[in-house]
C-alpha cells in the first residue's frame, strides 16, 4: 500500500472539447490528482525534498491544463507523463478531470474521465 498526496478540486479555465464552441469559449474544469509514493522518509525527517511539493505539482498540472486538447483523456495522459518525468519518487498517479458544463442536454453535476497509471 502506497501513501498518497491528494490535490482535490483544482479549478482551471481551459479550452478542451470536440465542439467549436468549447474551443472558442472555454470553460472551467475540475481536476483531482492522487500521487502515490512512499512518504515514510518525509514523515520521519520533515524535509521537503523527501516528498512532492504540492504547489509545484499544482503548477505542473496547471501548465498542462492550459494546452488545448479535444479529449480529456489526452490532457490526463499529458499530466501523468509530466508528473512522472518531474518526480522520481512518484510510483503511481490517478488523475480525474471533470467538465461541469458540457454541451450535452440533461441534468448532472458533470462528466469526466479518470485514469490511473503506474510507473
Active site residues: 99
CB 5 within 8 A of CB 57: yes
Please list the residues that pair with 93 across neighbouring strands.
Answer: 35, 117
All cell numbers assigned to 26: 472555454
CB 33 within 8 A of CB 45: no
Contacts of 76 (CB under 8 A, 6+ apart): 95, 97, 113, 114, 115
Give the largest CA-CA distance in the chain. Answer: 52
CA distance 45 to 40: 9
Amino acid at each position: 500500500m502506497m501513501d498518497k498526496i491528494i490535490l482535490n478540486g483544482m479549478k482551471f479555465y481551459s479550452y478542451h472539447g470536440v465542439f467549436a464552441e468549447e474551443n472558442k469559449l472555454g470553460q472551467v474544469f475540475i481536476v483531482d490528482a492522487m500521487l502515490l509514493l512512499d512518504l515514510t522518509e518525509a514523515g520521519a525527517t520533515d524535509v521537503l525534498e523527501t516528498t512532492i511539493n504540492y504547489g509545484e505539482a499544482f503548477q505542473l498540472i496547471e501548465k498542462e491544463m492550459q494546452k488545448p486538447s479535444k479529449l480529456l483523456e489526452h490532457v490526463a495522459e499529458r499530466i501523468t507523463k509530466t508528473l512522472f518525468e518531474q518526480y522520481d519518487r512518484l510510483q503511481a498517479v490517478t488523475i480525474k478531470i471533470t467538465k461541469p458544463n458540457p454541451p450535452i442536454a440533461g441534468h448532472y453535476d458533470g462528466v469526466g474521465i479518470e485514469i490511473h497509471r503506474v510507473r
